Structure 1
Amino acid sequence: MEKIKVIHIITRLDKGGSSENTILTAGGLDKQLYDIILIKGLSIESGMADNEAVAVEKSIREAEREGVRILTLPGLVRRIAPFYDFKTFFALIKILRYERPDIVHTHTSKAGILGRWAAFFARVPIIIHTPHGHVFWGYFGRLKTSFYIILEKITAFITEKIIALTEQEKNDHLHLRIASGDKFSVVHSGIKLDRFLNLSVDPAALRRKLGISEGDLVVGTTGRLTPVKGHRHLIEAAANIVNARPNTTFIFLGDGELSDELKNMASSLGIKEKVKFLGWRPDVAEVMSAFDLFVLPSLNEGMGRVLVEAMALGKPIVASDAGGVHDLVVHGENGYLVPPGDVEELVNSINIFLCDPIKRKEMGNRGKIVAADYSADAMVQKIDRLYRTMLQQKNIETFA
């Protein structure tokens, strides 16, 4: 029996959650049963530092070793670019007609629009889309957001299944009437837990290496430095906290277009020496192990898979109650939820943990239990079951 051919489409691969999720899915599916192709853009819009680009290339090579065929379309970009979009759309149709996949699975908004319509015109039997969150607020102005919502509603008509990362993400789509409830499935994003659960590192030695003063408590965050991630608000909160508690250090892991602005904010607020911007690093897990607590100040978030990583390391959480974050963080159990953009509540919640080592330990331990349910293997198994169900509904002959 021939293998089931699945083509994944995404605009860019970087070390963000949507890319990591897509790579893990494509690489994790059983290659004795599936023939997997991943179509991607050049990732030039990510503005990656050299070490992040090297890590992404390593992930691509690993996926290829796992049997994933990688195709690159230079015109597949995240921004709206009519010339490139038109050219890429017809290139996708040509590829899909040649490859004749059983399933096209698109990822993120832009690739989801182009890829799904290309699959429709190429007469692909099954079209599946994972938004990895959504762009309905926090990303664009009202006019552009309305345009995307209309596109999503129209494109949902040709989509067999939309995979939400959380129940909240599903509910957000239903609230805006993107599609009917029967078109949605919820599959949580997964991570390779072993890297975080079996970490061997001396946090005290690492802190010295990072130049953190002995005795300081460390508040950390990880993510791309972009407006929707809310780092401006965390810098404001950091100024308030450091002025009251000088033995506190804040660490920002990640790169992005706001890097210089955030550094200037820290300097102008007089906390430059207590805020460390480490850029993107390959040893993210090791650095996060040196945190006393983890903060996710996002204004909009699909699921926040970095929260799973932090919880796997036993870190208590302060996070914005945005998107599907509350699927992971139960207020008062394994962390605290605050309204997005509320600096005062950020300060209050962070201070609770800074004052109470027992609470940090207890909530961190509860988070470890939660993290165990979010493995990459569990995610891939759910995707596999979904594929099989869709194939059976379309009367496409499948493996046993």
Structure 2
Amino acid sequence: MAAGEGAPTRVLHVIGAMDRGGAEALIMNVFRSIDRTRLQFDFLEHEERECAYDAEIRELGGSIYHLPRFVGANILEYRSRCRHFFAEHGDYSVVHGHIGSCAAIYLSEARRAGLYAVAHSHNTNNRDLARIPFAVVSYPTRFVADAFFACSLGAGIDRFGRKVVSGPHFRIVNNGIILERYRFSERRRRVARSELGIADDAPLLCHVGRFVPQKNHQFLLEMFSRVVERRPDVRLVLVGGGPLERETRGLAQELGVSSRILFLGVREDVASILMAADAFVFPSLWEGLGIAAIEAQATGLPCLLSSSLPPLSKVSDGASFLSLGEGPQRWAAAAIDLLEAGCDDRSAQVEAVRNAGFDIVDTAEKLSSFYRTHELW
């Protein structure tokens, strides 16, 4: 895959699977925004199946390659496959690693092939014993990569340590979004509500996130059941998929609120759904950033965010933090306050998000220059 004269510079993104998620959305937003006559992205995925963004990647000119998932026991095979891949594909300007568990392996093999290696942390980790194996296998990454990126300071420290984060080779990369997609439109709100079967005057809460422990859906539903006690007309939309969806549906039945909840699955029209809502609730146990919270604020939604999110995730006056330790009852009261307070000019909030540095144009410009020059901004 050697680049010919005048061919675009190519960057390889190493990731688990290009499905819909925060890291994947960032990569695709950058991919859509760059000058693809000068810069192109390829992808090394750890799935053989067709992933959500694969078709678009090919349409934008990217190539997709595959490795087996790293499971620890296959370390020798995995390293061998990485070494063979980079021996065959050695003309990348940057190898940008987004999957953390095996980054020390594939980035070391990329550097062995003479390539520039970047490690990118998109999340913090839970603090229980389950994180220890990940911490052990990912620890050597801090001695392997040429540059280190993270979505927030906390995500950088958690993954790379304070010494790396305070050094010259670390940068925060804001998870920029295509802002005009999220500028509030009353027409889009009406259309979305009609499609969802939500009456114009029905208060609507929204949450966007995969059904995984991190997103804390149990707490969310316990909170919502208390909201319903005080506001029986309220509805909740849940956007996302994941392994805990069935369990969450069962809990909704147990709490007697299943008829008030819309499980929407993985959607491409998240911006319109956010516009349809009246408030956004995000009780995550941990987050590197929480890009869904940035998107919600861009649509002008009042947001109730877990205090486990980094300060960077509050980019508008309409967002507030609340500790999970306050309990579902206090969260319910705060959510009702947001519903009743509303927001005067939702379309103006896009500018607050832009001013906070989350315009994809800015992110893409910084990364484009870095990919070509290896010079950090």
TM class by smaller structure? 0.7 to 0.9
Aligned to 1:377, which of 351, 361, 370?
Answer: 361
Structure 2 gaps of 5+ residues are none
Matched, 1:352 2:317: no
Which stretch of structure 1 is more off in the superposition, 194-203 or 13-22? 194-203
Residues 193 and 312 in structure 1, CA contact (< 8 A), matched pair in contact too: yes
- Could you tell me how far 1:87 is from its partner in structure 2? 2.8
- Could you tell me how far 1:220 is from its partner in structure 2? 0.4
Secondary structure of the 1:318 match is strand
Residues 292 and 315 in structure 1, CA contact (< 8 A), matched pair in contact too: yes
Secondary structure of the 1:146 match is helix
Secondary structure of the 2:27 match is helix
Deviations 1:247-270 (A, max 9, x none): 211111111111111111111111
Q: How many angstroms apart in 2 are the aligned matches of 1:109 and 1:35?
A: 23
Q: Residues 202 and 113 of structure 1: is their aligned pair in 2 closer, same or farther, counting only changes over 3 Å?
A: same
Aligned to 1:315, which of 298, 301, 318?
Answer: 301
Match of 1:121 in 2: 112
Match of 1:197 in 2: 183
Match of 2:26 in 1: 21
Match of 2:69 in 1: 76
User: 1:103 corresponds to which letter in structure 2?
Assistant: V
Secondary structure of the 1:105 match is strand
Matched, 1:90 2:73: no
Aligned to 1:256, which of 239, 242, 254?
Answer: 242
Residues 190 and 374 in structure 1, CA contact (< 8 A), matched pair in contact too: yes
Q: Residues 392 and 353 of structure 1: is their aligned pair in 2 closer, same or farther, counting only changes over 3 Å?
A: closer
Deviations 1:72-126 (A, max 9, x none): 33x136xx3523x5433322221212222332110131352332132133332x2
- Could you tell me how far 1:33 is from its partner in structure 2? 3.2
Q: How many angstroms apart in 2 are the aligned matches of 1:280 and 1:352?
A: 28
- Could you tell me how far 1:173 is from its partner in structure 2? 4.6
Matched, 1:168 2:133: no
Which stretch of structure 1 is more off in the superposition, 109-118 or 184-193? 109-118
Match of 1:296 in 2: 282
Deviations 1:226-285 (A, max 9, x none): 110111111010011101111211111111111111111111111122122121223222
Match of 2:344 in 1: 361
User: 1:68 corresponds to which letter in structure 2?
Assistant: G
Q: How many angstroms apart in 2 are the aligned matches of 1:33 and 1:212?
A: 46
Q: How many angstroms apart in 2 are the aligned matches of 1:392 and 1:352?
A: 43
Deviations 1:57-82 (A, max 9, x none): 4x333332332222133x136xx352
Q: Residues 161 and 214 of structure 1: is their aligned pair in 2 closer, same or farther, counting only changes over 3 Å?
A: same
How many residue pairs match? The answer is 368
Q: Residues 31 and 366 of structure 1: is their aligned pair in 2 closer, same or farther, counting only changes over 3 Å?
A: closer
Q: How many angstroms apart in 2 are the aligned matches of 1:392 and 1:221?
A: 35
Normalised by the size of structure 1, how large is the TM-score?
0.82
Residues 174 and 180 in structure 1, CA contact (< 8 A), matched pair in contact too: no
Matched, 1:63 2:57: yes
Q: How many angstroms apart in 1 are the aligned matches of 2:314 and 2:31?
A: 28
Q: Residues 15 and 43 of structure 1: is their aligned pair in 2 closer, same or farther, counting only changes over 3 Å?
A: farther
Match of 1:47 in 2: none
Q: How many angstroms apart in 2 are the aligned matches of 1:179 and 1:221?
A: 31
Residues 76 and 111 in structure 1, CA contact (< 8 A), matched pair in contact too: no
Computed over aligned residues only, the root mean square deviation of the Cα atoms, in angstroms, reads 2.8
Deviations 1:316-373 (A, max 9, x none): 111112243x213168x2211112464244223212212323xx336x5664322224
Match of 2:15 in 1: 10
Matched, 1:31 2:42: no
Q: How many angstroms apart in 2 are the aligned matches of 1:248 and 1:27?
A: 37
- Could you tell me how far 1:202 is from its partner in structure 2? 4.6
Secondary structure of the 2:238 match is strand
Q: How many angstroms apart in 1 are the aligned matches of 2:28 and 2:189?
A: 30
Q: Residues 113 and 154 of structure 1: is their aligned pair in 2 closer, same or farther, counting only changes over 3 Å?
A: closer
Match of 1:212 in 2: 198
Runs of 4+ in structure 1 displaced over 6 angstroms? none
Residues 298 and 353 in structure 2, CA contact (< 8 A), matched pair in contact too: yes
Match of 1:131 in 2: 121
Deviations 1:204-237 (A, max 9, x none): 4533442335532001011111110111111010
Q: Residues 174 and 321 of structure 1: is their aligned pair in 2 closer, same or farther, counting only changes over 3 Å?
A: farther
Q: How many angstroms apart in 2 are the aligned matches of 1:286 and 1:115?
A: 38
